Structure 1
Amino acid sequence: MNTATDIGMIIHGIRLPITSEDVSPIIWQALESGKYEAKEARQVRKLLHTGDRVLELGAGIGVITAVMAQTPGVTIWSFDANPHTIELAERVAAANEIDNVTFRQGLLMSGAPETHSFYVRRDFWMSSMIESQGPYEDVIDIGSQNLEAFIAEHEVNVLVMDIEGAERDLLAAADLDGIDRVFMELHDHLYGLAGVRDIFASMNGHGFSYDPRNSSGPCVMFTRDDGTPRTYCEE
């Protein structure tokens, strides 16, 4: 559950200086109940190590970003195509005195830069590049940047994604050189189990293994692995 403060609420240990006017009723209810991104918050606390350089695609309102930023010595770059959520994420970072995150509105994709249509929805977690996903409030055209160039330039070694179905195509095309861990939310309601199979095949092709100890339901972790057996764990 969350708790109330003079600047809003606290969820997953993060101060959240937003109001019900900033988000849809469904998202506000999830925040009030403490269920908002609860699985992701639990898993990312185990994901990072001191010195990691993290690229987050799909910042949302910055809750998971802020949780990750609590790991000592990490540096995070966090992107979202939605200008409203980026503004909220920056507000959350300021309220939590976070200085190791750089937020940017934009898209990172493999290949040459292109202009894409992004469909903004009241429930911002449904905003995506998929028009058929449902009714939308606005559509914005946004130019992409090259993912591989950004990873190389900033020496990123951890990729975190919650991009509402776009992960299927991104991982099929991307070159993940330099990345040793990938954490993402799967969206089988958008691409079915066939899409999940495609993602696992792409990650296998990139040299990653599914990490069951750091995954929970649709929130999955892939890790580069040399095949060495792990110490037995009962959990």
Structure 2
Amino acid sequence: MGSLLNVARTHHPDADASLIRHAHDEAAAWHAGQTRHSGDPFITHCLAVAAIGMPPAVICAALLHDIDDTPCPPGRVAERFGQEITGLISALRTAKLSAIPPSGRASDVARPASQPTREEAMLAIRLADRLHNMRTSAVLAPARRYRVARETLEVIAPLARAAGLTDVSRELRDLSAVVLQPASTASAVTTRMLTLLLPTPQRARWREEWHAELATLPTRRTRTRFTLRVLFCTPRLSLTLRRPTCRERRW
């Protein structure tokens, strides 16, 4: 909670800290006992989404953005926090992220406009929500993780880029690529080993052959097995290639 207040004060020195504390306490009370797939308390997600440097009303909406998934009675948030925050939460629940028009501002999610429009506030909250979900997606079931990553790569990351949030867009793309292109990790390891061990003239050839082989393998397990086999054999291959009498031999 302290770090969230520090973010708010950094961007809005006159921010009403009591309002943010009230929203945090409300969210913590209604999300009590709820956990993420990782086992972390659900409130940790609310805090991560709220750390976006927006004005207090938007921070409060971010803290409370999932409160409809709790037993919180209808009308309680409006009664305690007013129509501005309630309306923003309601809009977040009903609007598709792809339907929110980007502002076109060249800003970062941590440094948005001091007086954002509702669309800008919604975009900041939804992008922060997706970014935290992607950062913690390793615990999801594979099929769901794949679906979320594909939507993020095809819809969410381009939307962030259109809004001028290049750092957010880049991280969303990178996180999605880890899920959608698992072979890239194996290829990176293989490339590092090639760079370290194989003679310079042969590196490009073997890198090309092994990457082509990886691309034909259908599952992560088969790619992992292939990569481990390659890494195990690379030292011996390197010694063979460095022998003068064998350098011209075809393998």
TM-score category by the smaller chain? under 0.3
Higher normalized helix content (fraction of residues): 2
Question: How does the TM-score come out when normalised to structure 2?
Answer: 0.25
Which structure has the bigger radius of gyration?
2
Higher normalized strand content (fraction of residues): 1
Question: How does the TM-score come out when normalised to structure 1?
Answer: 0.26
